[in-house]
Amino acid sequence: AQSVSQHNHHVILSEAASLELGCNYSYGGTVNLFWYVQYPGQHLQLLLKYFSGDPLVKGIKGFEAEFIKSKFSFNLRKPSVQWSDTAEYFCAVNARNSGGYQKVTFGTGTKLQVIP
């Protein structure tokens, strides 16, 4: 069964600091990888995704993520965070289950708090 691990549960950074949030998944086949963000009081929205091609993908608001197949990782990065990046971040994997249907599995999330 597929699973997703996010090891950082709560991260506190000062503005302008660099950010890296870890995401590891377990699944032996082809996967599509996503990062979603949930700002306080809002619904989940897509930050970026990877499904093929260049393993370094860029998303909205200056975020990027790198897919490293050998490490089963898809870490999220931002060179310089802003107070408005305070949110909860979720890594997700879309892979086919045993029935052949696409199933999306999420990690436990990382709460990012940016201090002005």
Please, which residue, 17 or 27, has the CB nearer to another protein? Answer: 27
CA angle 25, 56, 38 (to 5 degrees): 60
Site membership for another protein, residue 75 (CB under 8 A): no
Site membership for another protein, residue 97 (CB under 8 A): yes
The rounded distance, in Å, linking the Cα atoms of 21 and 65 is 9
Please, which residue, 9 or 69, has the CB nearer to another protein? Answer: 9
Site membership for another protein, residue 115 (CB under 8 A): no
CB of 93 to another protein, least distance (A): 10
Site membership for another protein, residue 46 (CB under 8 A): yes
The rounded distance, in Å, linking the Cα atoms of 68 and 66 is 6
